[in-house]
Structure 1
């Protein structure tokens, strides 16, 4: 099938059109030139014919011989190029076909007949009427024949030029085009240089194209290698990302999750929340305090810093999950903003810290606050401006239990006393093991009567008889108590404890003389000599 848009077809059309234009122009030119030449040639032939008979006409006019005149005129008219002729002198006149020539409006050509002996003397005139119909027809025929010859010659030249152009230019270019079309970019395939074109423009084009194909192959090879490296790194990254223990999320600025790993899905399922592609801005729906987390993160982002913090997740199934959140803002080359959020489950560490805090603040034997935790409680109450009474308790007879019955018996006494302190005080009051056999009660009371009522309940509960090692004689533990009021007596924790300690020491001394007098209220700024070290 002929390609109407192909180079060969278009070039053929161009050559044919160019040949036709050249042939038409040339034929028209040669037609006109030939026509004029034939007309001029006919006029020249008429002059030559007259010269042929001029001698006869000159003698006929000199001798006034009519026969010679007829011979001359008849000789002229015999030519196809002469329609009519006449000779005229004072004594002689002869014409042939003149009337016919006049009817055709043919203009005669006039020739002077000279005296054969005196050339300067004119004896007669000869009028020759050209046969223009014959002359023009003959000129047209010759011109037409020449035009046909030119057409034939142009056709032959055009066909030859077309064949030469096709085999020298078009065919090699078509082969080059087909070869280029069949080549797969990036391979070692190349275009063969057409025969006889190693130094032509086509050969140069093929060589340049082969160089370009070589560069393309090189770039494809490099790109293929880079793609393999990228795929290798992508697989490693995806493996690292998907199998990471830390939950990681890539999300848009509006909160839509673009990418997340398996650890994030496991974390969401762990707290009993439905897995979905959007949990609000910065995953706020997953946290117990969404407002706090957004304020914390956005404040860091406003300074172009990554944000970090420990936050508690909102749990549907009562699982308490704490995470360490690390959030980083990411901006693409197109200016699009994303956030990368990493959530590390720190619930176990949080629990361990809580246990360590309990161990630091609570007595391992009795389960109530120890001195460290007690001091924190006192400082907290002071910072909040609470009014309270600090009762310092010392057990009487405890040392003897340890010495006689051993530390296990002593521990039993301490546990019992701690239970009574915790059970007999009010909900807002606090019991503290201050150290050894000393205890502290923080009572939400501002008057001595309320304190006496609370201490009395504790004292009655503690006076339970103990029977150690199956002995029949009971052991009874009693207590001595010193009380100081905050802030009435002092606003300094050390001073407050010292005042209670002084009062307790007085109660311990009074216990010997008055066993029921176990409670003493401290006096402000007491500096008695009996202060304990």
Structure 2
């Protein structure tokens, strides 16, 4: 099928059109030139014919010989280029086909017949009537024949030019194009240089194209190597990302999660939310205090810093609270899209351990109630909040004898029992503390002695229950000596308040034998001058 858009077809059309234009112009020029030359040659031939018979006509006019005149005129008319002729003198006249020429409106050519011996004398004149029809037909025939020859020559030259152009230019270019179309970019395939074109423009084009293919192959090789390296790194990254023990998420600014690993899914399954596509902006749906978390992160992002903090996740099981260390980093792509990388480290175990350590630091391991450290924290907290309370310091009477007679296990049993009585007998808002050894303390929500007396009497009744150790039939009874100080009435200083209660407790302890019912003494600042002032 002919490709009308192809270079060969378009070049052929151009060559044919150019050839036709040149041939037409040349043929027209040669036609006119040949025609004019034939007319001119015909006139010259008429003159030559006359020169041939001119001597005969001159003698005929001199001798007034009619036969010689006829011979001269007949000789002229024999030519195809002369239609008629006549000779005329004073004594002689002869014509042939003159009437026919006059009827054809042909103007004669006049030649003067001179004296054969005296050329200056004119004896007669000869009128020659050219056969213009024959001359024109002959000129047109020759001109047309020449034009046809030019057309034929142009066709031959054009055909030869087309063949030469096809085999020298178009065919090699087509072969180059087919070779280029069959080449797979990035391979070692190259275009062969056509014969006889190693130094031509086509050869230069093939060379430049092969150089380009060399560069393409190099780039493909480099790109293939880079792709293999990227695929290798991507597999390594995906393996590390998916198998990481730390929950990691890559999310868009609108909250859409682009990447998540299995550790994140495992962490979310522990919450009451469950696995789903998104969890709101910056995963705020997962946290118990999303406002606090988001505010901290946005403040860090505003400073162009990564954000970190410890937050509690929502969970249906309150006993197993989930705490995470959140690390968030803002990311900006080359296209200007904003992403966030969020890493959630499960620190629940550490938080639980810290809580246990806190309990161990603030609670007594034997009795389970607050220890002295925890008690001091509670007293300081109540003072900061300016709550009124009564501080009752308790010392057990007879406890040393239990340790000495029955051993420390029995003593521990007594301490546990006393702590249970304290917790059981005091009110809901009151607090029991093991102050140290066999000393206890009560923080009572009371600001008058009557209220304190009621609570302490109730506790004392429970503590005085008899113990029987090692199947001993004799009961062992412990009692309490109690000193009470009020905050802020007695003192607004913690150490002074405790010291005043301690002094009152030792005052009560002195009554354990002489006045056992007077086991409770209220501290009085003016009464106990001990150097501690408000």
Same fold flag (TM > 0.5): yes
Is the 2:272–2:314 contact (alpha carbons within 8 Å) kept by the matching residues of 1?
Answer: no
Is the 1:83–1:97 contact (alpha carbons within 8 Å) kept by the matching residues of 2?
Answer: yes
**Alpha-carbon distance in structure 2 between the residues aligned to 1:530 and 1:150:** 145
Deviation at 1:339, TM superposition (A): 0.7
Residues 1:482 and 1:77: Cα distance change in structure 2 (over 3 Å): same
Residue in 1 aligned with 2:107?
Answer: 107
Q: How does 1:180-191 map to 2 (within 5 A)?
A: 180-191=180-191
SS of structure 2 residue aligned to 1:380: helix
Is the 2:251–2:259 contact (alpha carbons within 8 Å) kept by the matching residues of 1?
Answer: yes
Residue in 2 aligned with 1:479?
Answer: 480
SS of structure 2 residue aligned to 1:439: strand
Residue in 2 aligned with 1:360?
Answer: 361
Deviation at 1:491, TM superposition (A): 2.2
Query: After the TM superposition, which of the residue ranges 477-486 and 62-71 deviates more from structure 2?
Result: 62-71
SS of structure 2 residue aligned to 1:335: coil
Deviation readout 1:165-224 (Å, 9 max, x if unpaired):
222222222111111111111111112111222222222222222222111111111111
- The reply to whether residue 373 of structure 1 matches residue 407 of structure 2 is no
SS of structure 2 residue aligned to 1:511: coil
SS of structure 1 residue aligned to 2:279: coil
- The reply to whether residue 462 of structure 1 matches residue 463 of structure 2 is yes
**Alpha-carbon distance in structure 2 between the residues aligned to 1:99 and 1:6:** 68
Residue in 2 aligned with 1:62?
Answer: 62
Deviation at 1:522, TM superposition (A): 1.2
Deviation readout 1:67-123 (Å, 9 max, x if unpaired):
322222222121111122222333433332223223322222222222222222333
Task: Please report the RMSD computed on the Cα atoms of aligned residues, expressed in angstroms.
Answer: 1.8
Residue in 1 aligned with 2:6?
Answer: 6
Query: After the TM superposition, which of the residue ranges 54-63 and 286-295 deviates more from structure 2?
Result: 54-63
Deviation at 1:7, TM superposition (A): 2.5
Deviation at 1:305, TM superposition (A): 0.9
**Alpha-carbon distance in structure 1 between the residues aligned to 2:518 and 2:88:** 195
Deviation at 1:24, TM superposition (A): 1.9
**Alpha-carbon distance in structure 2 between the residues aligned to 1:376 and 1:14:** 107
Number of equivalenced pairs: 531
Deviation at 1:526, TM superposition (A): 5.8
Deviation at 1:515, TM superposition (A): 0.8
- The reply to whether residue 278 of structure 1 matches residue 284 of structure 2 is no
Query: After the TM superposition, which of the residue ranges 209-218 and 267-276 deviates more from structure 2?
Result: 267-276
**Alpha-carbon distance in structure 2 between the residues aligned to 1:292 and 1:525:** 50
Query: After the TM superposition, which of the residue ranges 366-375 and 8-17 deviates more from structure 2?
Result: 8-17
**Alpha-carbon distance in structure 2 between the residues aligned to 1:416 and 1:113:** 183
**Alpha-carbon distance in structure 1 between the residues aligned to 2:99 and 2:201:** 74
Is the 1:499–1:525 contact (alpha carbons within 8 Å) kept by the matching residues of 2?
Answer: no
**Alpha-carbon distance in structure 1 between the residues aligned to 2:54 and 2:436:** 174
Query: After the TM superposition, which of the residue ranges 352-361 and 287-296 deviates more from structure 2?
Result: 287-296
Residue in 1 aligned with 2:263?
Answer: 263
**Alpha-carbon distance in structure 1 between the residues aligned to 2:102 and 2:2:** 63
Q: How does 1:395-410 map to 2 (within 5 A)?
A: 395-410=396-411
**Alpha-carbon distance in structure 2 between the residues aligned to 1:186 and 1:330:** 36
SS of structure 2 residue aligned to 1:459: helix
Residues 1:138 and 1:525: Cα distance change in structure 2 (over 3 Å): farther
What is the TM-score of this pair, normalised by structure 1?
0.96
Query: After the TM superposition, which of the residue ranges 374-383 and 106-115 deviates more from structure 2?
Result: 106-115
Query: After the TM superposition, which of the residue ranges 415-424 and 377-386 deviates more from structure 2?
Result: 377-386
SS of structure 2 residue aligned to 1:354: helix
Deviation at 1:430, TM superposition (A): 0.7
Deviation at 1:470, TM superposition (A): 1.2
**Alpha-carbon distance in structure 2 between the residues aligned to 1:25 and 1:63:** 56
Residue in 1 aligned with 2:200?
Answer: 200
**Alpha-carbon distance in structure 1 between the residues aligned to 2:531 and 2:42:** 172
Deviation at 1:530, TM superposition (A): 12
Query: After the TM superposition, which of the residue ranges 107-116 and 479-488 deviates more from structure 2?
Result: 107-116
Deviation at 1:492, TM superposition (A): 2.0
Residue in 2 aligned with 1:19?
Answer: 19
The unaligned stretches of length 5 or more in structure 2 are none
What is the TM-score of this pair, normalised by structure 2?
0.95
Residue in 2 aligned with 1:53?
Answer: 53
Is the 1:247–1:344 contact (alpha carbons within 8 Å) kept by the matching residues of 2?
Answer: yes
Deviation at 1:59, TM superposition (A): 2.2
**Alpha-carbon distance in structure 2 between the residues aligned to 1:62 and 1:316:** 158
The unaligned stretches of length 5 or more in structure 1 are none
Query: After the TM superposition, which of the residue ranges 470-479 and 107-116 deviates more from structure 2?
Result: 107-116
